[in-house]
Amino acid sequence: MKKALTRYRVSASIVGVLLIVLCLVGVPLSNFDGTPMWAGDKIPTPNWFDDGSSADQLGEFITGVLGTAHGWLYMIFLVMAFSLARKANWPMGFTVVTLLCGTIPVLSFWAEHRATARVRAQMAAEERGVADDADRAEVGPSPT
């Protein structure tokens, strides 16, 4: 379970950082040029960056390239998280919340911390159980 936890933590961290860069840097740079964000929308976005400016081009790169990379890496994250959930026997609710939190900037880090704490506590409890079993085996069977 330790390797599954490491794979989960690495994928969660990468996806979390990319999601923050995508949502808090890329989207504003590429979309806040004073034009409506969606077709038919009558309310314009704030005019922070001119269309075609270097900031706009950087935003387009971030949303295009990093956005695509984030999408693929999120699929890998889902597999890693689900694999850990199966190995750790997480309840369905805990698993679903952990998977969904990976879609929300910053909250994904809280979900990773929460899942890591749960798995580490479970591994520590299992180690204590093994140690207790070994102690009992060394003492021998109890007299009846």
List the chain pLDDT tens, one digit each, 144 residues. 889 999 999 999 999 998 898 888 887 777 776 676 666 777 776 677 777 778 778 888 888 888 899 889 999 999 999 999 999 999 999 999 999 888 888 888 999 999 999 999 998 988 887 655 545 555 555 555
Report the C-alpha gap between 94 and 98 in whole angstroms: 6
Whole-prediction pTM: 0.73
Q: What is the pLDDT of residue 140?
A: 53
Report the C-alpha gap between 139 and 3 in whole angstroms: 33
